[in-house]
Structure 1
Amino acid sequence: MRKPFALLPAALVVLAVAATACQSESEAPDPADTATSAVANPDTAKIDQLKAGSFGIGFRGAFPGLAEGRDDAAITAIFTETCADIRSGAPEDEATTALTERLGSNGAAVTPQEAQAVYQMVAAMCGQQ
């Protein structure tokens, strides 16, 4: 059984939840606000928190072994730190290496396929604005 394909349904659920959360915003973002940070723009911070929450749900469902022993704040940190790497333009291999270290920080054994699947989940959600 190829594990990355087994994780696809969970990743799709996460993306669907994130898309629904983003679509629930009542007004379109102002183009003048696109350069502002989440700190300066509470609406962006709200969307990022929705994404982080959606990621947490999907992460716990798709990777119960990696989620074991982690609270919501720790899982949110995995999302936000990896998203920051992606948004800063870090090459995928460097971002995946850093993600592997984050995922393994509680003593969990992380396979390259798991790290890649988590990276793809974060990348898909992080790119949505």
Structure 2
Amino acid sequence: MHRPLSLLTAVLVAVLPAVAACGSDTAEPTPTATPTSVAATPDTAQIDQVKAGSFVIGFRGAFPGLAAGRDDAAITAIFTETCAEIRAGDPEDEVLAALSDRLAAGGAEATDAETQAVYQMVAVMCSGR
């Protein structure tokens, strides 16, 4: 029952030090191809691609059922869209509702606990710059 949260904690412990090491203020982000499923806006364009890549790895490891049938671009879109809403200051309940819809779009429905765990994962990874 608590497996997703335990996995999330393990993933965050493993991934966040790498993300922090890669996200130094002196490094300029290298322009990369933007996922075609996400419209390029100032908020989504500024999201560090290393963090997005780390999210994809963490999401696949912690939520294999939700990741099934999704390519990396689709999982990156979950991260970038949710992160943009968090950075815009949208109310948490609205972000959670939108995230729940995004997670369901892959065919599998996320439980409330899984949605909350993914939200926390995104919030931690997209905080700061």
Cα displacement (A) at 1:17? 2.4
Quote the residue 2:76 is aligned against.
76
Equivalent position amino acid for 1:64 in 2: P
Identity over aligned pairs, percent: 57
Partner-residue secondary structure (3-state), 1:106 = coil
- What is the alpha-carbon distance in structure 2 between the residues aligned to residue 7 and residue 126 of structure 1? 16
State the TM-score, normalizing by the size of structure 1.
0.79
Name the structure with the higher helix share.
1
Gap runs ≥5 in structure 1: 30-36
Q: Which runs of 4+ in 1 moved over 3 A?
A: none
Q: Let me know the Cα RMSD of the aligned residues.
A: 2.2
- What is the alpha-carbon distance in structure 2 between the residues aligned to residue 75 and residue 109 of structure 1? 15
Quickly say closer, same or farther: Cα 1:93–1:65, change in 2 above 3 A.
same
State the TM-score, normalizing by the size of structure 2.
0.79
Quote the residue 1:125 is aligned against.
125
- What is the alpha-carbon distance in structure 1 between the residues aligned to residue 110 and residue 18 of structure 2? 25
Cα displacement (A) at 1:28? 7.1
- What is the alpha-carbon distance in structure 2 between the residues aligned to residue 11 and residue 117 of structure 1? 11
Computing the radius of gyration over CA atoms, which structure comes out larger, 1 or 2? 1
Quote the residue 1:92 is aligned against.
92
Equivalences, count: 115
